[in-house]
Structure 1
Amino acid sequence: MSAPLDLDQLQTFIAIVDSGSFTKAADRVYKTQSAVSMQMRRLEERIGKQLFIKDGRGNRLTVEGEKLLNYARRIIRLNNEAIAAFDDNRLEGTLRIGTPDDYADRYMPEIIGRFAKTHPNVELYIVCEPSVDLAERMHKGELDIALVTHNPRERMSDVVRTEPLCWVGSANHPIRDDAPVPLAVGRRDCQWRQLACSALDAVGREHQILFTSWSCTVVAAAVLAGMAVSVMPESALRTGMKVLSQADGFPALPPVQIGIMKRPGVSLSLMNAITAHITACLDNITPTVVDDSLEADVKSAHARLYPRLKAANMVPSW
């Protein structure tokens, strides 16, 4: 009878694929890089196939590696489900989670997916509303946890992610220089809308709000169609969008901070579990590749203009 596959080796194998390197995988599985390499050599010996090949400075999966990856994920998932089924201390109950729809679109699929796999007996109730409405629901006790735009002037939250806020337009439709900038933004009390208008006013660039919506799908559609410019967190950028920099006449914007609000009285084990999943998922989020040629310009503009925006009291406390 053939010896069974080693679960620890499979977990390390998955970590390498998900992190993109042996070095990063070593940190994830709490092993040295040499130990990770040794595990992969033993796994290749057990399978009788080469799993990785050199690709420049990195490694990529072989055809056999791709084939094993599908089995490895299923084996680890079934192992975790089996353990959970006999765990007398497994988490149970309901968690009411709030998030703006733009965060839900980008972050929630991975958060929900990972949490459901490890805690199948916990029901998740998701509400998508603007941060200001979610904060009100939290105060009324209608939600247990909320992912919001951090803004200590209006609500307290624990910051779990900071990323650039970018001007974006369509990569296929140029913005006219001889006309007011057409904007697609949130409602009047939207902080990003207020920041965008104030920043354009500060550099003397005319603008006109053409689309108003809380829906990130509507705003993104207007941008991709070349009908408007908007402001979005870096991780929310989509293929077909172009980051607009100072060279295009758009001033740098301060970074976005994403925070977590928690309702007192919720089961500590449930709260710790969902918070850990949210934090881990946000750490793994990578921005969509848009126009790489402008990345350096955006970072440079942020570095030069952020102190001036702060001095002019135009930087909100996200």
Structure 2
Amino acid sequence: MRNLDITTLRSFVAVADLGGVTRAAGHLHLTQSAVSMQLKRLEEVLGLNLLDRSNRSVSLTAAGQQMLGYARRMVDMNDEVMARLTDQTFEGEIVLGVPHDIVLPAVPHVLQRFNTMFPRMKVQLITSFTRDLKAKYQRGECDIILTTETGLEPGGETLTALPLKWVGASGGSAWRQRPLRLVFGRHCIFRAGAIAALEAAGIDWELAVETESDRTIEATVSADMGLNAMIDGMQPRHLEQVDHGGALPELTLQKINMYGVERARGEVLAQLGGLLRQAYQTL
């Protein structure tokens, strides 16, 4: 198998861009004979004439014109890899805060892609409630946060807006009971809206479980002992949206917002923000 050498490709690109071996040699800090030797080696590997040497000025053959595009991309990719893997500019730590109920399915894929792009960067993921994450962000403890809100504060960006849905056990019947038993986190911002919707519909309810543990909520709901409200499509696999046929009221639309990218400086945070934006806008 024949392999192309990045050094020879770099010399070829320099000759093409600068219009001659002499200028390319000066640009690359090499001797003219070294550059000429590299060009000859590249042509031998390919078995093609890349340069038209019939005139005093150097010009590309048809094969050389075609090769130039490939050579540019390969040199650029080489330089990007070396920069990302070795440059200390892309080394450090980012603190990302995400509400625990919207971590899946988007965030793992985002972190995987980001790690491929910036392997020397560390991402500390914090999962908590929106109110807690916004407080941490204001104190400078998080670089970027996602939130679930009905509105948007200055400096934020709405990635998507999705409705809340009633969630219960697979094949469960808890939604038929009256008073309707609710299972919510103590600091969950969805709770007030869900209760207001029930009261507006004249449906009796009771708070069966109030906890700070997501696992407690999931276990109780999956045991068909009550209902919870979650953003459409974000429920765990062992829970399902309740097909109540209109017996329960529709819930509010929730925005998934991002804060931090607007004030971010540098490529790394901008790239992470771009990955998050793309992931949530395609949910």
For the aligned pair, the TM-score class normalised by the smaller chain equals: 0.5 to 0.7
Deviations 1:42-91 (Å, cap 9, x if unpaired)? xxxxxxxxxxxxxxxxxxxxxxxxxxxxxxxxxxxxxx899423455963
Asked whether the equivalents of residues 81 and 118 of structure 1 are also in contact (C-alpha less than 8 Å), the reply is no
Q: Once the 2 structures are TM-superposed, how far is the Cα of residue 166 of structure 1 from its aligned partner?
A: 0.3
State the match for 2:217 in structure 1: 219
Unaligned runs of 5+ in 2: 5-76
The CA RMSD measured in Å over matched residues stands at 3.0
Asked whether the equivalents of residues 145 and 261 of structure 1 are also in contact (C-alpha less than 8 Å), the reply is yes
2:93 matches 1:85: no
Q: Once the 2 structures are TM-superposed, how far is the Cα of residue 134 of structure 1 from its aligned partner?
A: 1.0
Are residues 176 and 280 of structure 1, via their aligned partners in 2, closer, same or farther at CA, if it must alter by over 3 Å?
A: closer
Q: Once the 2 structures are TM-superposed, how far is the Cα of residue 215 of structure 1 from its aligned partner?
A: 3.7
Are residues 235 and 215 of structure 1, via their aligned partners in 2, closer, same or farther at CA, if it must alter by over 3 Å?
A: farther
Asked whether the equivalents of residues 100 and 147 of structure 1 are also in contact (C-alpha less than 8 Å), the reply is yes
In the superposition, the TM-score normalised over structure 1's length comes to 0.58
Distance 1:275 1:153 in 2: 17
Aligned length: 210
State the match for 2:109 in structure 1: 110
Match of 2:141, SS?
A: coil
Distance 2:177 2:215 in 1: 28
Q: Where does structure 1 differ by over 6 angstroms across 4 or more consecutive aligned residues?
A: none
State the match for 1:175 in structure 2: 174
Distance 1:91 1:106 in 2: 26
Distance 2:260 2:83 in 1: 30
2:125 matches 1:123: no
Distance 1:151 1:214 in 2: 22
Sequence identity (%) = 22
Amino acid at match of 1:96: V
Greater Cα radius of gyration, structure 1 or 2: 2
Q: Once the 2 structures are TM-superposed, how far is the Cα of residue 216 of structure 1 from its aligned partner?
A: 3.3
Distance 1:97 1:81 in 2: 29
Distance 1:81 1:181 in 2: 61
Asked whether the equivalents of residues 94 and 123 of structure 1 are also in contact (C-alpha less than 8 Å), the reply is yes
Are residues 106 and 152 of structure 1, via their aligned partners in 2, closer, same or farther at CA, if it must alter by over 3 Å?
A: same
Of the structure 1 ranges 149-158 and 209-218, higher mean CA displacement relative to structure 2 is found in 149-158
Asked whether the equivalents of residues 97 and 145 of structure 1 are also in contact (C-alpha less than 8 Å), the reply is yes
Distance 2:237 2:130 in 1: 26
State the match for 2:196 in structure 1: 198
Matches within 5 A, 1:300-311: none
Deviations 1:208-248 (Å, cap 9, x if unpaired)? 11122344333222221111111001121233433235625
Asked whether the equivalents of residues 95 and 124 of structure 1 are also in contact (C-alpha less than 8 Å), the reply is yes
Unaligned runs of 5+ in 1: 5-79, 286-318
In the superposition, the TM-score normalised over structure 2's length comes to 0.65
Asked whether the equivalents of residues 130 and 214 of structure 1 are also in contact (C-alpha less than 8 Å), the reply is no
State the match for 2:54 in structure 1: none
